[in-house]
Structure formats: C-alpha cells, structure tokens
Homo-oligomer: A and B are copies of this chain.
Amino acid sequence: METEQYGYSEEKQAYLRRLKRAEGQVRGIARMVEEDKYCIDILTQMAAVNKALHAVSIGLLEDHIAHCVVNAANESQESGNPEIVSDKVAEATAAISRLLRS
C-alpha cells in the first residue's frame, strides 16, 4: 500500500533509533525508581529524556516546515489560493506553541 511521504520519511530510520533510545531511557528511569535510587539522580535522567525528545521534535518540525509548508507555499503560488499555505503555517505554529508549553 503506497503511504504518504513526509519530510521526515527520508530520515525515518534515524528517528526510529532516537525514539527507541528515548524509550530505553524511560525504562531505565523506571528501573531507578524500582531500585530506590536517589531522587536527584532520577530527576537528572528525566531532564535528559525530555531534552532528547525535544531534539526529536525540533527535527520533525524542521522536516515538516521544509517539506509540507514549503509545498503548500508553492501550491498557493501556483493556484493563487493563499489559504493553502496560511492554514499550513497556522497548524505548524500551533504545534510549536504546544511544544513550548510541554
């Protein structure tokens, strides 16, 4: 079945590796809790996994803008319909805003 290709598709394997690592980090934190490790050491690992996930988000965001938003810009240019790209920009900005508050 032919699936939609997005900006991140080219780097899919790299994203999957990074997500796998983040998943392992969360599992490692659970093990620290299980083994009654010191709170601050656990919190240090929590900050690390948040940072790793934010880095993945930034990558996905860059790919999205470079692919989906840019395609929408060209579509708007060719069709003369500015809403194609303005909707796409609003959608991307809402995603950035959610990340900022997460």
Contacts and interface: CB of A to CB of B under 8 A. Distances in A.
Interface of A: 3-9, 12, 15-16, 19-20, 22-23, 26-27, 29-30, 33-36, 38-40, 42-44, 46-51, 53-54, 56-58, 60-70, 73-74, 76-77, 85-86, 89-93, 95-102
A40 B92 contact: yes
A9 B57 CA distance: 29
Central interface residue in A36, A43, A51, by most chain B CB within 10 Å: A43
Contacts of A58: 93, 96-97, 100
B20 A30 contact: yes
Contact of A19 (B16, B30, B54, B85): B30
